[in-house]
Each structure stands twice: as C-alpha cells, then as structure tokens.
Structure 1
C-alpha cells in the first residue's frame, strides 16, 4: 500500500458527497488533500470484518462491495451494495467495534483514511463533518428501505426495487448513462441480498427479460421501461436524499 491523495477533482469521494451535500472549492480541496493508503483487493475478499476495532475508514475508489451479516448457522445476509465513492465503514469513526463485514464483489481499489485525519478534517471543516453526518443518515434511510423490501415485498418487486436503487446510485456518481450501467453482481449475491434462493433469482430475472423490463449483456444492464420497473418495485428515490434532480433518470 502507498500513501496518496485522491486522484483528481472528479474523485469518487467528492462525487459521492456532492450528490447529497453542496461543497465549495475549498471543501473539495480539503477532501482531495486527505492522506490515504490505496490498496487493491481481489474479488471475494473481506476489507473489514465484524468485531474489528479499526483505526481507519475506507472509501471505495473503484469496484463493487457488499456489506453483510452472518447468521449463527453460516447464512449470509447482504444489507447493502457499495459503489465507488461510498465509505461503508464510516461508522467506525464513532463506533469503535464494527458490527458489520464488508467484502469485495469485484476487484476493487480502496483508499484507507486514518481516523485521526478524518477527525482533524471534521474539526477544521464543520460543513464536511455535516456532509459525513448526512451520508450516515442517508445510509440509515437506505437500510430502513431494505427492511421493507425484504420483509414486505414479493421477490419480483423486491428485485425491481433493488435494480432501480442501484441504477440511481450509480447515476448519481457518474457511473450510469440514462438507464444503462455496469452491474457485475451475481445471482448468488442478489439472492443473499433479497433473502431468496439463487434459483428464484434466476426465474425472476428471466421473467423480467421476457417482459421487456430489463436487458442484460454480460455485466451490462439496460432498463428499457424505467417507469414500469419503478412501478413494479414500488420505488421512490426520496430515501436516497439526492441533491441533483438529474441523478434520477
């Protein structure tokens, strides 16, 4: 791992925070100046584990992650997917023992930032501290929406909802065009997020393709009928609390 600043003013962290909070040039530069250690992770590696007591948090610079919990009998429940710009373990700045694990779904580049540097930044820049606070509140809102999705929707609208969310989140940080994005998430990973079997996920996706709701080519997802998919998934992006109207297709 090597110390490095964030790569440019289009850095994933800046883009993510600006999607939910207005930043000025001075605040952007303060984020760009944060020292970090950049590390590469292979697919299927834990970045942090439940029970860890970390002295740093990390930002996803590229790739996809999942935040998950394990049951006593070894079953995994994914509680959110992470995309570039997200800080999945930001809570460790205040909660000293992690109650979640974060794993890579694809090869990922992540940047570790020492808690001491984050604390100093927040003390110097109270609006950035407010942006981080808002980020954790939005994360909490998303968790509540996922509880409703898994607990009260059937598998078909459940999948529609999660596809809508991922497209909107990727679009907000510049990783989707219109209704098309790269989504390298396997059926097994969707099954762990939706609380159904892999076979059920396969059937749902086949039905969605047959009905013209989605098109897939490799990891590429296209949604030809956005309004219909939103309606089926009962999807309202309000809980993501995005700043920019254009972030929503």
Structure 2
C-alpha cells in the first residue's frame, strides 16, 4: 500500500522542529512519512502539551481528517530531519475504492492505534507506574524496535519527560522505575535511546501475554 501511495503524493524534505500537521486546523490532506521520526502531541485544556504517540518512516498520519473532513485532533512535529509525501484526500479516497485490500489494511491500522490508546487509558487508572512503563516500553519494542547485539534497540530519541507523558506519571517516578529496570538487567539507557535486554521478562512484568500483538 505505501509504495503505491508514494506515487500519489508530493514529496517534501524538512528539518527538525517542523510542524507537519497542526491541531485544530481544518485541512484534510494525508501525510505518508518516508524517513525520520515525528511526535504526535495534543494541547490540553490547561495549556499543557501531551505526547500521544511517535510515528516513523512508513507510517501514515492525518488519516482521520482525510476521511471525515474534521479539524485535526493533534499536532505532528518532526524530531529530526524528515521526508514525507503529502497526499490530497480525493486521490486517497479514490485509491481506497480501487484497492479494497488497502482499505482493510488502513482499518486494521486505525484499530491498532485505537487499541493502543484504550490500553493506555486503562493502564493509567488500573496499574502502578512500573507496570505501565513495562507495557509502554514493550509496545515501543514492537512498533519502533530494531534487533541489536545486546537486545532490542528503541532508537527514537525519547526523553524521560516524553516517557513520563506517555505513561501518565511524573518524571521523578520514571527515573526511579528506569533505575530499577536497569538494576534488574531488563534495560540499558543512554542519551535518548533505550535497549531492552530481556523482552520476555519485561512483558511478564507488564502482565502482557506472550502472543499479544
């Protein structure tokens, strides 16, 4: 699906800090990320910014507004140099009509993101911080991890404040949990990068089934 979509859009190359999609703006083009890392954030009623998710090369963003013509629900900002394609909604909708399998793939992607969002809401109210961190890191392994020599590397320049926001915890709590996870031999951390040394144990700590997607 992504290969065909690339031919439908106009390519753009931008530096770090570029806003690709603006929350609240009524626009409906779709963005297909080719290279780079972006963060998806939303402004809360009290003015704070909440980190909702991360998107990397190969990911689609802006699909909801492209389909329902509603204002953007979040802001997408590049975390480093990035390349992406801008696809107009009429071309996107025509593509979906002509490619039913792609429409099903898109529905599965949206469902997966909704599942992730719902899981986080439940985690925030039901589980302690350490379990929440284990769940989030395990999910990042699945979506953004690459196998390295010492484990699965999550090389997405994720700061501790970012992780605290994703987990719904204070930065102090995150620092404490990461120290514990390092001491237990589950993860290694350096500047904005994490290596998961034992994903099986981490998933067990997060109370995740081994066959869960």
TM-score by length of 1: 0.75
| Contact 2:158/2:193 (8 A) holds in 1 | no
Q: How many residues align?
A: 210
C-alpha change, 1:150 and 1:239, in structure 2 (3 Å) is farther
Residue 144 of structure 1 deviates from its aligned partner by 1.1
Residue 229 of structure 1 deviates from its aligned partner by 0.7
Deviates more, 1:206-215 or 1:217-226: 217-226
Does residue 1:90 correspond to 2:63, yes or no?
Answer: yes
Please list, as runs of the form range in 1=range in 2, the aligned pairs for 1:25-64 lying within 5 A after superposition: 28=3, 30-43=4-17, 45-64=18-37
Unaligned runs of 5+ in 1: 1-12, 15-27, 241-249
- Aligned counterparts of 2:212 and 2:96: Cα–Cα separation in 1: 25
| Contact 1:138/1:239 (8 A) holds in 2 | no
Residue 116 of structure 1 deviates from its aligned partner by 1.8
| Contact 1:62/1:109 (8 A) holds in 2 | yes
What do the CA deviations read for 1:184-238 (whole angstroms, capped 9, x no partner)? 1011111221222222222221221122110123344222221111111123476
| Contact 1:155/1:196 (8 A) holds in 2 | yes
- Aligned counterparts of 1:99 and 1:110: Cα–Cα separation in 2: 20
Does residue 1:133 correspond to 2:133, yes or no?
Answer: no
- Aligned counterparts of 2:212 and 2:27: Cα–Cα separation in 1: 29
Residue 121 of structure 1 deviates from its aligned partner by 1.1
Does residue 1:216 correspond to 2:189, yes or no?
Answer: yes
TM-score by length of 2: 0.86
| Contact 1:67/1:82 (8 A) holds in 2 | yes
C-alpha change, 1:94 and 1:81, in structure 2 (3 Å) is same
Please list, as runs of the form range in 1=range in 2, the aligned pairs for 1:64-143 lying within 5 A after superposition: 64-96=37-69, 97-143=71-117
Does residue 1:146 correspond to 2:120, yes or no?
Answer: yes
Unaligned runs of 5+ in 2: none
> What RMSD, in angstroms, separates the aligned Cα atoms of the two structures?
2.3
Does residue 1:200 correspond to 2:173, yes or no?
Answer: yes
C-alpha change, 1:41 and 1:238, in structure 2 (3 Å) is farther
Residue 86 of structure 1 deviates from its aligned partner by 1.6
| Contact 1:50/1:100 (8 A) holds in 2 | yes
What do the CA deviations read for 1:120-171 (whole angstroms, capped 9, x no partner)? 2112222212221221122111111121222222111111111110111125
Secondary structure at the residue paired with 2:45?
coil
C-alpha change, 1:92 and 1:236, in structure 2 (3 Å) is farther
